[in-house]
Structure formats: structure tokens, C-alpha cells
Amino acid sequence: MPPAPIVPVLDLTADSVAITRAICDIPSVSGDETLLADLVEQALAGASHLEVIRDGDTVVARTNLGRERRVVIAGHLDTVPINENLPTRFETVDGVEYLWGRGTVDMKAGVAVQLKLALELTDPVVDLTWMWYDNEEVAASLNGLGRLAGSRPDLFTGDFAILGEPSNGQVEGGCNGTLRAEVRATGLRAHSARSWVGENAIHKLAPALARLAEHEAETVEVDGLAYREGLNAVLVSGGIAANVIPDEAVLTVNYRFAPSRNVAEASEVVREFFDGFDVTVTDSAEGARPGLDAPLAQQFVRAVGAEARPKYGWTDVARFSALGIPAVNFGPGDPLKAHADDERVATSQIRHTEIALRDWLTGATA
């Protein structure tokens, strides 16, 4: 008789730190989320208060209690590639206990809290739509939340959305937009032994780099939050051989812009900044206003006792924002540790997030 295969089972009645550990130790690098999505689906399948919907490797679970308001709470299942940082382990630094390993911050601790509460909260004060999705860490075209918004727009109804992205247990509102552009200089090729016959395209990038080096990015206040922008060269390339005067040089810049501007306005900022150069916008994503003027958002911030801060990085809150649903990031973990090889989350932040979210959703802090 063959040995019984080991079938992992996800126990969502466990402690949220234990759930975090369990789902981190099931690797789910983007594109490889099926096993974890299966376990999530199975763990919730028996809950009579939830309607469970599976779409690819995205799992949606929602209550249909006829509440006045509906809150969407979402998190992605995937992580960036593992770099010898799995399985997880506990470590204590300066008296603080951390769970160390890939995914602990971005964002399985947040997902663990959500999963635990999804099963536990049979009678929340608002109707809930939980979404756990695939492929957040890769090309936008693969994003599970984006796919679902296209195929099942009916699931995207709600008065408020919470994304569990790491925010140190604070509420981070909205997000900066992002735009990538190529700044191109052209010249005339020549043999480098007779450089005066040509025109050096790399040299022509000098004023573009000088402007960037001198530039001080703006900080823009939007709905009471200060969004710090950034305009940076991220790639540069030019030249075809070590004995040829280059006829083309390309600087790729990334503009992170406050959500008070849209992509068209941000593109104009970049074109003006690089006046005199050939500028091509190659990629962009709108930002999201913090949405903290929505009553439910204000009540949430008060209830979880958090300070509202701006989110600098682009996150999927922008998708909800685009659908007219005010959305914030609220999750355990320091965003600066996301994607880091020493990614680790303070276990106290996991517990804090769990308690704050439970209290709000059960009306204890309403």
C-alpha cells in the first residue's frame, strides 16, 4: 500500500500568528498560488455565513446579511521570489518578537488576519466581501483583482475597501500614481578616432541628468495627507561599441506623482521637465486619492485608533478608487521590509491588526 500523501489543511481557528506562519510556509510565488488558493477555498467552504466564489487562483467570500453598508477587504496571495528565506522562523531583536521569512510582511500576515476573521465573524455590523487574489507582484495585466474586476464587476460593490498591504498597522490612504517615460537623445554615429565627425548622444543627456540631480521633489497635500513625489532616472543605456560615437542614448525615468494629478497631467510635468528632449511615456497607472473624507473611512480610522498616513507606493487601492469605492491600506508589517531578504513582521502588529479589525467589524469600536 503506498504511504498516505501529506495533505495540508489550513486551520483558521488557530492564532493569527500561527496562520501567518502556516501560509508563509506554503510557497506561493506569483503564478504558483494554486495550492494556497485551494486551501483557502477548502477552509471556508463549510462556513454557512459565506458565499465562496473561485476564479482562477482568486477566492472571494462574502456575507449576504442585508446590512446597510458593505465593506470589501482584500489581500494578495502571491509573493516575490524566495531567496533562501523560507521556511519561516521566529527571531527576537531588541526584545521584539518577529516572524521572519518571505511573505511575512508582503502580505501574508495581513491575509492571515483576514482569513481568520472571515471564518470567525458570522454576524458583522456590515456586509463583507473578502477577496484573496493572485499575481499582484508581477505585470499589471496578470493581476487577479484586475481580472476579477473585468469578469465579475458585480462583486465590486461596496461603500469602503480595505487592502491589507503592510502599513505598520496604521491606515495609509490612497497612493501615488506612477509613470515611466523614456527620455531620448540622438546624435550622429562616427568612429571614435574621428569623434568630431559625429555628434555624441550620451553627452547630450548631460542637461537631463543635471536637472534630475538638482531636482527637489514636491510634497503635495491631498485631502489632508502629504504625498511626497519622486522623479528619478531608473535606467540608462547608450552606445553600440567602444570605438563608436553613440547616436542614441535613452534615460528611463520614473515619476511617482501625488494623487491630485492624473496621468495626463503627470505626463505633461515630465515633458516640461525634459524640455528639449524626445520624451515617450511608456507605462503609467493613476494614483488614488486617500478617500478619507468618506464617513465610513473616517469612522474606520477613529475606530482602529490609527494615524492616517499617505501611501507612497502604488497599490491595488487605486483599482477600488477608480471604481468609486474609497479605499485604504491597513495591514501589519513595515513596508520598507517588503521584498527585502530579511523580510520580517513583528508578531505584535499581527495581533494588533486582528484585534482592531475585529472590534470595528463587530461594532465594538463603532
- Does position 92 interact with its own copies (CB under 8 A)? The reply is no
Q: Which of residues 299-358 bind its own copies (CB under 8 A)?
A: 312-314, 336, 338-339
Is position 212 an interface residue for its own copies (rule: CB under 8 A)?
yes
Residue 306 phi/psi, 5° resolution? -100, 160
Report the residue from 15, 53, 82, 254 that binds its own copies according to the rule CB under 8 A: 254
What's the closest the beta carbon of residue 204 comes to its own copies, in angstroms? 7
C-alpha cell, 161: 475597501
Residue 140 interacts with its own copies (CB under 8 A)? no
Which of 21, 49, 116, 256 contacts its own copies by CB under 8 A?
256
Q: Which of 209, 226, 322, 364 binds its own copies (CB under 8 A)?
A: 209
* Residue 272 grid coordinates: 516640461
CB 212, CB 233: distance < 8 Å: yes
Active site residue 78: yes
Q: Is 203 in the site for its own copies (CB under 8 A)?
A: yes
Strands (E), the chain: 51-55, 58-62, 70-76, 89-93, 96-100, 127-133, 160-163, 171-173, 177-186, 190-191, 219-222, 225-228, 230-238, 244-245, 248-257, 278-285, 308-310, 327-330, 344-346
Q: Which stretch binds its own copies (CB under 8 A): 46-54, 136-144, 175-183, 259-267?
A: 175-183
Angle between helices 16-24 and 347-361 (to 10 degrees): 120
SS3 358: helix
Enumerate residues 6+ apart whose C-beta is below 8 A from 86.
24, 25, 27, 101, 102, 103
136: annotated active-site residue: yes
Tell me the window of 8-16, 193-201, 261-269, 296-304 that interacts with its own copies (CB under 8 A): 193-201
Confirm if 50 and 61 have CB atoms less than 8 A apart.
yes
* Residue 102 CB, nearest approach to its own copies (Å): 16
Residue 205 vs 350, nearer CB to its own copies: 205
Under rule CB under 8 A, residue 364 binds its own copies:
no
Under rule CB under 8 A, how many of the chain's residues touch its own copies? 50
| Cell representation of residue 359 | 472590534
Span from 65-73, 142-150, 165-173, 209-217 in contact with its own copies (CB under 8 A)? 209-217
45 near its own copies, judged by CB under 8 A = no
Check: CB of residue 60 under 8 Å from CB of residue 147: no
Given the rule CB under 8 A, which residues bind its own copies? 176, 178, 180, 191-197, 200, 202-207, 209-210, 212-213, 217, 228, 230, 232-239, 241-246, 249, 251-252, 254, 256, 283, 312-314, 336, 338-339
